[in-house]
């Protein structure tokens, strides 16, 4: 369950997309398919392997601990990419992150406070030049500001 919460929270981090960039993604949010716990586990494993994360870092990730280092930055960027929320060229898609958090079949109000919080984190870190660092800092911003929301959305 913690892995699911972690991965979903990472997805939320992706939601902290660049405020300017997220508008062109809006049409794709309606066709976005909410990812499952199994997807999260698969993404986590693939990304840990991709970035060559040592076992001690992987153990930290499972406990919601994300050190501010290059390996962790790229690990989170990879997870967000696999969720379909983030890409190096366009940054985050706030709409898709919001849809993931709302769950399958839910109606999403992209003008609500949750959406605004996600967008604010994305905007705050949108000028970073390193793609992995941008993903990491935006994601940590969102998770730190909305941990209760993230945990609730995963359990719902």
Number of domains within the chain: 1
Phi and psi for 57 in degrees, rounded to 5?
-70, -45
Phi and psi for 87 in degrees, rounded to 5?
-145, 155
Residue 105: pLDDT band (50, 70, 90) is confident
| Gap between the Cα atoms of 9 and 61, Å rounded | 12
pLDDT above 70 (res 1): no
Rg (CA), the chain: 14
Residue 23 belongs to domain spanning: 2-155
> In this structure, what CATH number is given to the domain that contains residue 24?
1.10.238.20
pTM for the model: 0.77
- 19-55 pLDDT, tens per residue? 333 433 445 567 888 888 788 889 999 999 999 999 9
Predicted local confidence at residue 155, as pLDDT: 44
- Tokens found for residue 89: 């060229």
- Tokens found for residue 40: 């999260």
């Amino acid at each position: 369950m913690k892995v699911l919460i972690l991965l979903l929270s990472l997805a939320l981090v992706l939601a902290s997309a660049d405020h300017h960039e997220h508008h062109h993604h809006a049409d794709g949010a309606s066709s976005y398919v909410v990812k499952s716990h199994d997807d999260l586990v698969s993404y986590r494993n693939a990304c840990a392997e991709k970035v060559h994360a040592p076992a001690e870092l992987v153990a930290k990730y499972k406990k919601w601990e994300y050190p501010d280092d290059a390996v962790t930055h790229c690990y989170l960027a990879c997870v967000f990419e696999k969720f379909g929320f983030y890409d190096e060229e366009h940054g985050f898609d706030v709409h898709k992150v919001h849809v993931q958090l709302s769950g399958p079949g839910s109606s999403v109000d992209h003008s609500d406070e949750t959406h605004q919080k996600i967008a604010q984190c994305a905007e705050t870190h949108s000028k970073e030049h390193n793609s992995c660092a941008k993903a990491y800092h935006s994601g940590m911003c969102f998770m730190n500001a909305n941990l209760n929301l993230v945990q609730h959305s995963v359990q719902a």
